[in-house]
């Protein structure tokens, strides 16, 4: 057994428990998605042996290969956490337990048709760009509280996605700015949660009470602001090459 892995995992889990308590929630309210991108299947199997069941990959081909290698672990759930190119969508429709980065109607529509063919349903998060950083993926939402055009666009796009067959909207996903002051990061998470509540009041389909936010450097802040899914790589598996 990988001692470093079990030590790091225990520390992350303890920090999740403490942060959840600060947000007035039990630790079970927070799903730990262990981001295993670039990590070998053997290390994922070791993490599985330590009790982890949810693993995140950001490339569809890698998710496909690893899920084939580890298909003997039937209750292992694969989360696609990265932007999805149209031509790479089929493995996600076939194998993913959840897709965290829906950023346009077209990809959701394509997945809905493929899910019909493979007779599956797919829980998804809609990714929003709250910080407004250029080059960041997600629906543009940097001025959602005050800009009527942005509000109209967000409401229309999210309603269209939530109405698709076989696509089960869970809520919103966001990425905080990298290396920003904690107050700024916290504001991004808080505004994401407020947007999810705003959408919930306007869109009949889907549930909007789940939030995928928080990574190695900011997951405690995210949990304090209501994250239900944290996507943590380096703090569990160590630095990537
Ligand atoms: C890599 C990645 C993570 C995990 O990042 P760490 O800093 O290793 O915790 C989370 N979310 C997404 C979308 C990622 O690509």
What token pair was written down for 120?
């599956």
**What's the pLDDT tens digit per position in 102-142?**
999 999 999 999 999 999 999 999 999 999 998 899 999 99
Give 94 Cα–ligand 1 centroid separation in angstroms.
23
Note the pLDDT tens digit of each residue in 73-106.
989 999 999 999 999 999 999 999 999 999 999 9
- Res 1 pLDDT > 70: no
User: What pLDDT is stored for residue 241 in this prediction?
Assistant: 84
CA–CA distances in Å: residue 51 to residues 70, 147, 172: 15, 45, 26
| DSSP codes of every residue in 227-241 | -SEEEE-HHHH----
Judged by phi (left if over 0) then psi (alpha if -120 to 50, else beta), residue 85 lies in beta
Ligand 1 binding site (Cβ under 6 Å of any ligand atom): 35, 37, 58, 81-82, 215-216, 231-234
> Quick one: what percent of the chain has pLDDT higher than 90?
95
Nearest CA to ligand 1 atom 8: 233
Average pLDDT over residues 44-56: 98
Task: Decide: helix, strand or coil at residue 114.
Answer: helix
Q: Model-level pTM?
A: 0.97
pLDDT value at residue 19: 98
Scanning the chain, the segments in alpha helix (DSSP H) are 3-22, 41-49, 60-69, 89-95, 105-118, 148-162, 182-200, 219-224, 234-237
Q: Ligand 1 pocket check: which of 33, 35, 54, 58 to mutate, most ligand atoms within 8 Å of Cβ?
A: 35
How far does residue 215's CA lie from ligand 1's centre (Å)?
A: 6
Question: Across all residues in the chain, what is the average pLDDT?
Answer: 97
């Amino acid at each position: 057994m990988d001692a470093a892995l079990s030590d790091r995992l225990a520390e992350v889990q303890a920090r999740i428990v403490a942060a959840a308590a600060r947000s007035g929630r039990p630790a079970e309210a927070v799903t730990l998605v262990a981001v295993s991108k670039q990590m070998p299947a053997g290390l994922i199997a070791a993490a599985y042996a330590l009790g982890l069941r949810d693993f995140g990959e950001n490339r569809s081909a890698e998710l496909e290969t690893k899920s084939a290698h580890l298909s003997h672990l039937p209750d292992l759930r694969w989360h696609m956490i990265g932007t999805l190119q149209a031509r790479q969508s089929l493995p996600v429709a076939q194998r993913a337990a959840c897709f965290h980065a829906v950023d346009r109607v077209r990809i959701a529509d394509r997945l809905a048709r493929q899910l019909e063919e493979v007779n599956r349903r797919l829980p998804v998060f809609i990714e929003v760009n709250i910080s407004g950083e250029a080059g960041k993926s997600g629906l543009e939402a940097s001025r959602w509280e005050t800009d009527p055009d942005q509000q109209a666009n967000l409401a229309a796009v999210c309603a269209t996605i939530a109405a698709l067959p076989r696509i089960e909207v869970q809520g919103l996903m966001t990425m905080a700015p990298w290396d920003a002051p904690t107050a700024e990061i916290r504001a991004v998470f808080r505004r994401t949660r407020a947007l999810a509540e705003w959408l919930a009041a306007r869109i009949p389909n889907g549930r909007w009470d789940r939030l995928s936010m928080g990574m190695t450097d900011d997951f405690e802040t995210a949990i304090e602001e209501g994250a239900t899914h944290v996507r943590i790589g380096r703090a569990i598996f160590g630095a990537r090459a």
